[in-house]
A and B are shown apart, each in its own frame.
Chain A
Amino acid sequence: MKFTASGRFFSAAACVMLALSAPALSYGADTIKFGIVGPHTGDLAPYGLPTVAAAQLVIDQYNAKGGIAGKKIEILKEDDVCKPEVATNSATKLVSSGAQIVLGGICSGATIAAMPIYKNAGILAMSPSATSDELTASGNYPNFFRTIAPNAMQSPAMVDFAVNKLGAKKIAVIHDKGDYGKPLAEAAKAEVEKGGKAQVVLFEGITPGAMDYSAIVQKIKESDADTVIYGGYHPEASKIVSIMKKKRVGAKFVSDDGVNGDAFIKVAGEDAEGVYAAGPQDNADNPLAKAAKEAHKKAFNSDPGMFFENAYAATMVMLNAVEKAGGSTKLEDLKKVLQSEKVDTPVGKISFDQKGDAIGVGFSMYVVEKGKYVVAK
């Protein structure tokens, strides 16, 4: 998710508050306190509530077996409505009520704001959904882990698919000059050149909102590219693909998750057919994912929502780490297990790298078929 960070001031302020309230911390001895933070009300609640359901299901299983090292697991919920300024309060509240591990946050911006508080308290936090590169690549948050692929993995996924699956030899990389599209395109270009199997024949930025893209489409044709990789959002992408069809340019069109959505298909209509776009990893074939979905249906009588599988996996690996560490929730003990041991989860068999990103979780490529995005085989 691409919610931006703006809560540094608040997080700094909250750190001060936390320092003042630190002596009041108390750790419950008889239960393991499992914090869950995310948007549980408001517009973005559909992103946060499935995580609560996922954690509940996994924790119920553990508690039915008698908990971990004789201790039952207790859930502490906090609603941060995905707002950085609220997230710092939620984090402070969780820490002061004794949470020992935290599942969340959900949105990148809110998570970045809250992380310093968990870091100072030495608490492990794992997000099922925050994709901002900063969370792991910056190295600022050694207590942060996630079970979703970071944004930076998207370009390699797109290039790998174009080169190895579609057999692209000559690639035109186009972007919209924006904050989202341009870095993606630059990374894709570097990735193609690094791979050496294909070459970049064209690298250009277009003006978003321009009335007609036929000149750039003619240039793509002239460059003899067999594949176009586009970094940007759907309005420009749909204009380009429809002009490519009109000008009888047969190159394949591979794009990012800014194009992966119903809005693109609605606007581009029949021209959308055959367009490839990256999107969150597809776990439909994973037996654990199927089982988790079944369990959700049984418990809540409905299909699970956004990030459910990622949250289920996160809860599993965190509790597994606590179990392997003999009931300890100390950050160092948990990190050792997380980074060394592979766990079978609904998002695949995963462990974590030094930065906190899950190894084995990535992007899937989708293709438009009969007016719908389906997983590209």
Chain B
Amino acid sequence: MDYFIELLFSGLTRGSIYALIALGYTMVYGIIGLINFAHGEIYMIGAFTAFIVATVLSIYGFPLLAIVIIAGVAAVVWAASYGYTIEKIAYKPLRHAPRLSPLISAIGMSIFLQNYVLLAQTSDFLPFPRLIRDFPFMEPIAHIIGSTDLVILVTTVVVMVILTLIIKFSMIGKAMRATSQDRTMATLVGINVNRVISMTFIIGSSLAAIGGLLIASHIGQINFYIGFLAGIKAFTAAVLGGIGSVPGAVLGSMILGLTESFATGYVSSDYEDVFAFSLLVLILIFKPSGLLGKATNQKV
């Protein structure tokens, strides 16, 4: 039974990691129907920014909490400005082009950003500072769930709740939903669609940056390539849960994380990806729009 609980929490941690990135994918898709392949790179850039800021601050001897907050804010601001700029440069000019064009543009952006960081920084693995120390009260259950795992889990839940509230009740949230339902109609009733889309990218990128900080300090290492692998898994999770749906992204991530964890625990880690993707295929056969996705008649 202990083993089951341990695997359960391993799966939840992994799921939360995926969820923090998957939320950005799903929001952008929900608004403009674009799969933003550069989103994984935004996560990577967030992690690098946090790494640079945290390293510099720890040289000057700042207290840990101050480092976490300043590095977090810096990562969010930096990554959000990247997200904003990417949308303006790579996606906005293609808004009325066939669907395939922005997709290719997104893949190009992803490759560009990877190589940019590779050249501007390094190809080596860098040790990410342990920003989250072990909490003393966690010690009795540290073998089941670690302190960083807990922080990631809690952050994911909090972020999901706040995001849902924003989308449900705030002005910008309402504007987002209107834009998502019918962009032309939204423009006609006076919604500044460009602003809404920019906001979506800024929020999604900020989440990715927070994810970058937390996940990197959980794993303890970063390099220029982490965004690609994270992006693929998070994108899978978003599709699983129903791309475009915020709770769906979290649900899909958790299911993906748990499947991988239990597959490793009870079968073999050689097959964790096989199980994860078999599940994806299975769910998409019976629910083509994902678990919580809305069925649409749109031709893709």
Given A215-B272, A218-B7, A269-B127, output 8 extra A-B contacts at Cβ < 8 Å: A207-B272, A210-B272, A215-B10, A215-B262, A219-B265, A222-B3, A238-B221, A271-B220
Question: Can you report 22 residue pairs joining A to B where beta carbons are below 8 Å apart?
Answer: A177-B270, A204-B264, A204-B268, A204-B269, A205-B268, A207-B273, A209-B225, A210-B272, A211-B17, A211-B233, A212-B14, A214-B10, A214-B13, A215-B10, A215-B14, A215-B272, A218-B6, A219-B269, A235-B221, A248-B142, A248-B143, A269-B220
Within 8 A of B (CB), among A231-248: 234-235, 238-239, 242, 246-248
Contact with A along B269-285 (1 / 0, CB 8 A): 11011000000000000
Contact with A along B223-255 (1 / 0, CB 8 A): 101100110010000000000000000000000
A235 touches B229 (CB 8 A): no
Assess whether B11 is interfacial by the CB under 8 Å rule: yes
Point out the residues of chain B lying under 8 angstroms from A235, CB to CB: 125, 221, 223
CA distance in complex: A206, B269 (Å): 6
What's the minimum C-beta distance from A171 to chain B, rounded to whole angstroms? 17
CA distance in complex: A216, B260 (Å): 10
Given that A218-B10, A248-B142 are known contacts, is A205 also in contact with B260, CB under 8 Å in the complex?
Answer: no
Given that A211-B17, A212-B14 are known contacts, is A218 also in contact with B124, CB under 8 Å in the complex?
Answer: no
Assess whether A268 is interfacial by the CB under 8 Å rule: yes
Chain B contact residues, majority secondary structure: helix
Point out the residues of chain B lying under 8 angstroms from A214, CB to CB: 9-10, 13-14, 149, 261
Given that A215-B269, A219-B265 are known contacts, is A239 also in contact with B10, CB under 8 Å in the complex?
Answer: no
Assess whether B104 is interfacial by the CB under 8 Å rule: no
B14 touches A238 (CB 8 A): no
**B269: contacting residue among A205, A234, A239, A242, CB under 8 A:** A205
A204 touches B17 (CB 8 A): no
What 8 A-B pairs are tightest by C-beta distance, nearest first?
A: A215-B264, A214-B10, A215-B261, A215-B10, A246-B146, A218-B6, A205-B270, A248-B143
Residue of A whose beta carbon sits closest to that of B233: A211
What's the minimum C-beta distance from A228 to chain B, rounded to whole angstroms? 13
CA distance in complex: A205, B269 (Å): 6
Residue of A whose beta carbon sits closest to that of B219: A239
B142 touches A239 (CB 8 A): no
What's the minimum C-beta distance from B7 to chain A, rounded to whole angstroms? 6
Within 8 A of A (CB), among B127-167: 127, 130, 142-143, 146, 148-149
B268 touches A267 (CB 8 A): no
Q: Which residues of B contact A (CB under 8 A)?
A: 3, 6-7, 9-11, 13-14, 17-18, 124-127, 130, 142-143, 146, 148-149, 215, 218-221, 223, 225-226, 229-230, 233, 260-262, 264-265, 268-270, 272-273
CA distance in complex: A247, B144 (Å): 7
Point out the residues of chain A lying under 8 angstroms from B9, CB to CB: 214
CA distance in complex: A207, B274 (Å): 11
Assess whether A266 is interfacial by the CB under 8 Å rule: yes
B17 touches A212 (CB 8 A): yes
**B127: contacting residue among A219, A222, A266, CB under 8 A:** A266
CA distance in complex: A212, B153 (Å): 14
Q: How many residues of A contact B (CB 8 A)?
A: 31
Point out the residues of chain A lying under 8 angstroms from B268, CB to CB: 204-205
CA distance in complex: A222, B124 (Å): 33
**B14: contacting residue among A205, A211, A263, CB under 8 A:** A211
B270 touches A204 (CB 8 A): yes
What's the minimum C-beta distance from B261 to chain A, rounded to whole angstroms? 4
CA distance in complex: A204, B268 (Å): 7
B270 touches A215 (CB 8 A): no
Point out the residues of chain B lying under 8 angstroms from A212, CB to CB: 10, 13-14, 17, 218-219
Given that A215-B11, A215-B264 are known contacts, is A263 also in contact with B220, CB under 8 Å in the complex?
Answer: no
Given that A235-B125, A263-B124 are known contacts, is A246 also in contact with B270, CB under 8 Å in the complex?
Answer: no
**A211: contacting residue among B125, B215, B265, B269, CB under 8 A:** B215
Point out the residues of chain A lying under 8 angstroms from B127, CB to CB: 266-269
Point out the residues of chain B lying under 8 angstroms from A266, CB to CB: 127
CA distance in complex: A271, B270 (Å): 25
A216 touches B264 (CB 8 A): yes
Contact with B along A17-30 (1 / 0, CB 8 A): 00000000000000
A209 touches B14 (CB 8 A): no
Within 8 A of B (CB), among A177-232: 177, 204-207, 209-212, 214-216, 218-219, 221-222
Point out the residues of chain B lying under 8 angstroms from A269, CB to CB: 127, 130, 220
B221 touches A267 (CB 8 A): yes
Point out the residues of chain A lying under 8 angstroms from B273, CB to CB: 207
Residue of B whose beta carbon sits closest to that of A269: B127
Point out the residues of chain B lying under 8 angstroms from A271, CB to CB: 220
A216 touches B269 (CB 8 A): yes
What's the minimum C-beta distance from B56 to chain A, rounded to whole angstroms? 18
What's the minimum C-beta distance from B118 to chain A, rounded to whole angstroms? 15
B230 touches A247 (CB 8 A): no
Point out the residues of chain B lying under 8 angstroms from A222, CB to CB: 3, 6, 265
What's the minimum C-beta distance from A160 to chain B, rounded to whole angstroms? 27
CA distance in complex: A215, B265 (Å): 6
CA distance in complex: A56, B157 (Å): 69
B265 touches A239 (CB 8 A): no
Point out the residues of chain B lying under 8 angstroms from A219, CB to CB: 264-265, 269
CA distance in complex: A248, B6 (Å): 12
CA distance in complex: A247, B6 (Å): 10
Within 8 A of B (CB), among A334-350: none
CA distance in complex: A212, B233 (Å): 12
Point out the residues of chain A lying under 8 angstroms from B146, CB to CB: 246-247
Point out the residues of chain A lying under 8 angstroms from B17, CB to CB: 211-212
